[in-house]
Structure 1
């Protein structure tokens, strides 16, 4: 069953069924507008015009630009992040780091992320909503990676999925999105190995073997 079919099936009796292709067009237009003008100058009108739809199509889905932007960001985070199962914790982390490195360097993402973080620093509602949306999108993936590692005996005990996610992606985010310096050859491999060893130590187990 497709996502559109699931949403259509959940629609209350008598409610209009929202076309998924229109929703995706609006999400894409939202990203393009964010990259072009930033959150502060983004408008429902401009997004609708870029998506080729009327404003009512946007307002049927979101009541204002904040939930529209948050939905677009969280949907991309859910759809894009892989759920790795390479057979080792280090391999799983390397796959996640490789994807994150690509995503952070994407042309639109590299323009949008700093702008949204700046807005979040000024607007507590944006900060809280953005943090929640991104956490919900990625917490499940982190939990699956930790579960597989425990089943393989690479981790001895339970670890908080949020804390593990911070430990793994924090250094890469700092390097790519904040400092914005090139990564030396082999950096992601070393980071994956170091992160796996750190998670194993925090769980009370031996370092994982590659």
Structure 2
């Protein structure tokens, strides 16, 4: 068995890769720690030493994807910066084959407080903070109305995306992102 030769970080990566592969093949509901351990070539106790549940493992696995793509660039045009970042988020987490895994993870968070807290702490809050910071910079540059509630703007940006992703299960398209941005920024621009 090759596990004795792999370092801790190599084992962790092998387990996360196995979780994503199996999740894509069989779906989150049929995913088991035992199957993940077998695919990764480790014992299930090795998995449980790193993660308390399959939900915690799937969260780490999904977050190990190219998270840097979700950082903001500052081109001087807040709408274009938001558009690029939201396109990346939609392409990464709402595209196939990861959409059903992310949907299942959010579902798991509804009844597993550990997964809910980790999802909020490690994904939702950092992304919201990045968005609010980008909006704040735009407001300071005069691109946005000085009295617009930036936290509310964040909720307005993300709400329709999560609604489609989790409730109606309609496709999340770049065109839909464009419509959200157009609607939001019609009310955020400074009045002339």
Quote how far apart the aligned CAs of 1:91 are: 0.8
Distance change >3 Å, CA 75–CA 184, structure 1 → 2:
closer
**Corresponding residue of 2:54:** 65
Find the counterpart in structure 2 of residue 152 from structure 1: 141
**Rounded Cα–Cα distance in structure 2 between residues aligned with 1:127 and 1:146:** 26
Alignment correspondent of 1:193: 182
2:16 alignment partner in structure 1: 27
Q: TM-score, normalised by structure 1?
A: 0.68
In the alignment, which residue of structure 2 is the partner of 1:169?
Answer: 158
Pick closer, same or farther for the CA change 1:158–1:52 going to 2, 3 Å.
farther
Q: Does 1:44 align with 2:33?
A: yes
> SS state of the match for residue 107, structure 1?
coil
Shift of 1:31: 2.1
Residues 181 and 59 of structure 1, relative CA distance in 2, 3 Å threshold: closer
**TM-score for the superposition, normalised by structure 2:** 0.73
Among 60, 82, 104, the alignment partner of 2:71 is 82
Moved more, 85-94 or 24-33: 24-33
Cross-structure match for 2:124: 135
1:166-196 Cα deviation digits (max 9, x unpaired): 2112223323553244578844333223223
Gap regions ≥5 residues in structure 2: 1-5
Rounded to whole Å, the distance in 2 between the matches of 1:47 and 1:22 is 12
| Farther-moved stretch of structure 1 (27-36 vs 71-80) | 71-80
Q: Deviations over 1:65-91 (max 9, x none)?
A: 343233223444744413232211111
Alpha-carbon distance in 2 for matches of 1:26, 1:97: 29
Q: Distance in 1 between matches of 2:173 and 2:118?
A: 34
| Cα shift at 1:130 | 2.8
Paired with 2:77 and 2:13, the residues of 1 have a C-alpha distance of 35
2:3 maps to what in 1? none
Question: How far is the alpha carbon of 1:206 from its aligned partner?
Answer: 0.8
The unaligned stretches of length 5 or more in structure 1 are 1-16
- Aligned partner of 1:206 in structure 2 is 190
**CA drift at 1:116:** 2.5
Are the counterparts in 2 of residues 176 and 182 from structure 1 also a CA contact under 8 Å?
yes
Report the Cα distance in structure 2 between the residues aligned to 1:153 and 1:113, rounded to whole angstroms. 36
